[in-house]
Amino acid sequence: MTARNEPQEQLFLVATPIGNLRDITLRALDVFRHVDYIAAEDTRRTYQLLQAYHIDKPILSYHEHNYKRAGEKIFKLIDEGKKVALVSDAGMPSLSDPGRDLVLQAIQKNIAYTVLPGASAGLTALVYSGLPMDSYLYQGFLPVKKNQRLIILQQLAQEKRTLVFFEAPHRILTTLDDFVQVFGPDRHCVLVRELTKIYEEAIRGSLEQIISDLQNQNIRGEFVILLSGYQEEIIRPSEQALVIEFSDLIESGKSKSDSIAMLAQKYKIKKQELYLLFQKADKTEKEG
C-alpha cells in the first residue's frame, strides 16, 4: 500500500474467511499490513490467517467477556496515533460478536472508521439454501436458557420471512427440538455446516426429518439453520363456491381477468384452471 493511497481511517472492521482461507480479500490483506494492531475475537484463528499470508502484527484479544476493557485499550492506542483492525472469529465483525460496541464508541468519539466487506456465514448459507431471500430475518445465536429461547421463538412463530439462526454442534439437537415445539414438525428447514470447507454440507427436509438424520450422525461443525417462513393454511373452496365468488366479483364491476387474478392469488390456484372452471360453469348455465 503506497503512502499516496494510505487510508485515513484509524479503525477498520474487516471481514475474514468463514472457513477457506483463500476467501480473504486483497483489500483486507492490505489493511492488515498497514495497521499497527489487530483486535481479534479468536487470537489463535487470526494468527493462523496472518501466518498463511506472511503477516506479522501484534494481536489483541477482543471478545464478549473482555470487550469493555479491551475497547478502552484500543481507543487508547488510537489516541496515540495507532491504527487498529477489528476481526471476528469468522465472517463480518459485529454480527453475533461485540464489535458493535466498538462502532458505537467510535461514533461517539468522532473517530474515523470503515468496514471492509467480505465473507458472511449467514448470507452464504442463505444463498446456498435456495430458500426465499428477497426478505429474511437474521436472528443469529439464540439464548442458551430454554425459557428465554422459547420466548423468542414464540415471537417468530408466524414470521413469514425466511429465518436465519446460528448454532453450535453440542446444542443443535436441543434447539431443533425447540423449533418443533414452536413451529411444528413439518416446517421446512435447511441445515448448513462446514461452509467453504472440504465437507461443506446442506441437510434439507422437515424439522422432524432433519432431527432423525442428525441423531444417527457424529455431529460436528458450526451450523447455520435456515427456516422457511410461516404460511397460512389455505382452504380451497368447492367449485360451486368459486363460481359464486367469481360471479359476485363480476357483478361488483370487476373484469373477468381481474376476478380470475384475484381468486388465483387468494386461493393459490392457477389462473388457467380457474378460467376453464368458469368457462365450463358458463356453458352449463347456458345449456340449462
Pairwise CA distance, residues 175 & 136, whole Å: 20
Pairwise CA distance, residues 286 & 288, whole Å: 5
Pairwise CA distance, residues 191 & 140, whole Å: 14
Contacts of 135-140 spanning 24+ positions with Cβ under 8 A: 135/161, 135/162, 136/161, 136/162, 136/163, 136/164, 137/161, 137/162, 137/163, 137/164, 138/95, 138/164, 139/163, 139/164, 139/165, 140/95, 140/96, 140/164, 140/165, 140/166
If you average pLDDT over every residue of the chain, what do you get? 91
Which residues does residue 38 pair with via DSSP β-bridges, in sequence order? 59, 85
Q: What is the mean pLDDT of residues 223-240?
A: 86
| pLDDT for residue 232 is more than 80 | no
Per CATH, 3-119 and 122-227 having the same topology is answered no
Q: pLDDT by residue (tens digit) across 140-163?
A: 999 999 999 999 999 999 999 999
Q: What is the percent of the chain where pLDDT is above 70?
A: 96
| pLDDT for residue 179 is more than 90 | yes
- As given in the structure block, the three cell numbers for residue 7 are 487510508
| CATH number for region 122-227 | 3.30.950.10
Class of the CATH-defined domain 3-119: alpha beta
Q: pLDDT by residue (tens digit) across 79-104?
A: 999 999 999 989 999 887 888 999 99
Pairwise CA distance, residues 32 & 90, whole Å: 15
| pLDDT for residue 3 is more than 50 | no
Q: Please, which residues have CB within 8 angstroms of residue 84's CB and are 6 or more apart in sequence?
A: 10, 11, 12, 35, 36, 37, 38, 39, 60, 74, 77, 78
| pLDDT for residue 4 is more than 50 | no
Q: What is the pLDDT of residue 234?
A: 67
Q: What is the pLDDT of residue 62?
A: 95
Q: What is the mean pLDDT of residues 126-145?
A: 94
Q: What is the pLDDT of residue 251?
A: 87
Q: pLDDT by residue (tens digit) across 5-17?
A: 556 789 999 999 9
Domain spans of the chain, in order of start? 3-119, 122-227, 239-287
